[in-house]
Amino acid sequence: MDNYFDNAATTRTDDEVLKEMLPYFSQSYGNPSSIYKIGRENRKAVEEAREKVAKAINAEPNEIYFTAGGSESDNTAIRGIAYAYKQRGNHIITSKIEHPAVLETCKQLEKEGFEVSYIGVDEKGIVNLEELKNSIKETTTLITIMFANNEIGTIEPIKEIGKIAKENNIIFHTDAVQAVGSVKIDVKEMNIDSLSLSGHKFYGPKGIGALYVKKSVRFQKFVNGGHQEKNKRAGTENVPGIVGLGKAIEVAYSNLEEHNKKIKELRDYYVEEVKKRIPYIKINGDMENRLPGNSNISFRFIEGEGLLLNLDLKGICASSGSACTSGSLDPSHVLLAIGLPHEIAHGSLRITIGKYNTKEEVDYLLNNLEEIVSRLRNMSPLWEEFIEGGNK
Ligand SMILES: *Cc1c(COP(=O)(O)O)cnc(C)c1O
């Protein structure tokens, strides 16, 4: 048993993916820009992977740029598009629940003279489309809203947002790092102009991602140097990573329904059992428009950090919010944006189920969680006050 329940933070590389990657570290180590055989072969491998990525989201291969992951794709898209269209306007629209790769890029752009509107979400985490429409100005050039949230799993109304962007002649970028590999994506049908994805979130390797940018959309390059990636992203291609990314996306979409069904069943079982076994909880996010493996539950009267430490003692890996923010004592910006009070946001546990999890592992998690929550509550002054107030 692995007891790994943090698949939104990263996933184990699929054995099939790893197997495809290995020869590119050893026998076939050539630089794809070189003209001799091991160079040419690697160029071919890179272009085949590009076709696989394009096919998965219904884009064209020449609209795919390989990057070092989701964060680089987000940075490149947002900065690159904002600067390329600066003559037209300096206003960007995003949401309050974005990943730091988007939020921090927007904050940086504000310091550089851009104007950013941060759209709110409802209690389920769905962006307010009216607020989005009302925020559009003459100077708006870019809307960047995530496809699915990494903490609460909510899937945003991407097609509607794409339509609004198109009608107003605004470029639409989406951080789809959590969605790719779990949700069917068609960039044409959804009017997506730009999209970020990352290999390690769907059983591919870490440190490799891709950015899709529609042919007609311009963006300024971010990494300067050689002429790789159509002169848009310099640096010798990460051939093993690119091959792994291509394989991972192919595997994910060839078994999508089957995997999602199994993952969702386990997730629903977990949530139902928690509801049955543990009182005073709050289920966060939307149960309809939600990533199949995600659950986010607040346990009142306890701290998420205490929960995580105790779960870790039992060999269970989970998260209390986004992995990037754990370690800080601020409650998650996503949980605050859906309206949770600080004390409830603090007691939140994110369990993200993946394709390697088993029912046996979920049962082990449930048994330990029940015991730990009860023990931590018995030590909590808030719980004591609550009980003494005649609440039990
Ligand atoms: C993980 C994640 C990222 C960052 O991707 P990296 O490949 O780790 O840089 C960006 N956005 C979302 C929604 C994520 O979940």
Distance 288 CA to ligand 1 centre (A): 23
Distance 215 CA to ligand 1 centre (A): 24
Condensed to tens digits (0 to 9), the pLDDT of residues 183-237 reads 999 999 999 999 999 999 999 999 999 999 999 999 999 899 999 999 999 999 9
**What SS3 string covers 267-296?**
HHHHHHHHHHHCCCEEECCCCCCECCCEEE
What gap in Å lies between CA 66 and CA 48, rounded to an integer?
A: 12
What gap in Å lies between CA 143 and CA 146, rounded to an integer?
A: 10
Among 129, 234, 324, 382, which one carries the catalytic annotation?
324
* CA separation, residue 18 to residues 23, 56, 75, 109 (Å): 10, 20, 28, 38
Is residue 131 within 8 A of residue 96, CB to CB? The reply is no
Instruction: Say what angle helices 37-57 and 239-254 make with each other, to 10 degrees.
Output: 30
Does residue 326 surpass a pLDDT of 80? no
Distance 70 CA to ligand 1 centre (A): 5
Q: Is 324 among the catalytic positions?
A: yes
Question: Residues near 115 by Cβ (< 8 Å), separated by ≥ 6?
Answer: 90, 91, 92, 139
Condensed to tens digits (0 to 9), the pLDDT of residues 66-110 reads 999 999 999 999 999 999 999 999 999 999 999 999 999 999 999
Local structure of 336: helix, strand or coil: helix
Local structure of 376: helix, strand or coil: helix
Distance 323 CA to ligand 1 centre (A): 10
Determine which residue's CA is closest to atom 5 belonging to ligand 1.
Answer: 70
Instruction: Please give the helix or strand (H or E) that residue 297 lies within, else none.
Output: strand 294-299
Q: What is the DSSP string of 219-279?
A: ---SB-SSSHHHHTB-S---HHHHHHHHHHHHHHHHSHHHHHHHHHHHHHHHHHHHHHH-S
Q: What is the pTM of this model?
A: 0.97
Is residue 7 within 8 A of residue 361, CB to CB? The reply is no
- What mean pLDDT is predicted for residues 382-390? 86
Is residue 241 within 8 A of residue 99, CB to CB? The reply is no
Candidate of 71, 156, 194, 352 to mutate for ligand 1, largest count of ligand atoms within 8 Å of Cβ: 71
- Which atom of ligand 1 lies nearest, measured to the CA of 72? 9
What gap in Å lies between CA 360 and CA 5, rounded to an integer?
A: 13
Candidate of 175, 183, 208, 326 to mutate for ligand 1, largest count of ligand atoms within 8 Å of Cβ: 175
Residue 321 confidence class, pLDDT cut points 50, 70, 90: low
Local structure of 372: helix, strand or coil: helix
Q: Which residue has the higher pLDDT, 323 or 344?
A: 344
Q: Which of 85, 211, 222 is nearest to 143 (CA)?
A: 85
The pLDDT value recorded for residue 324 is 47
Does residue 30 surpass a pLDDT of 80? yes
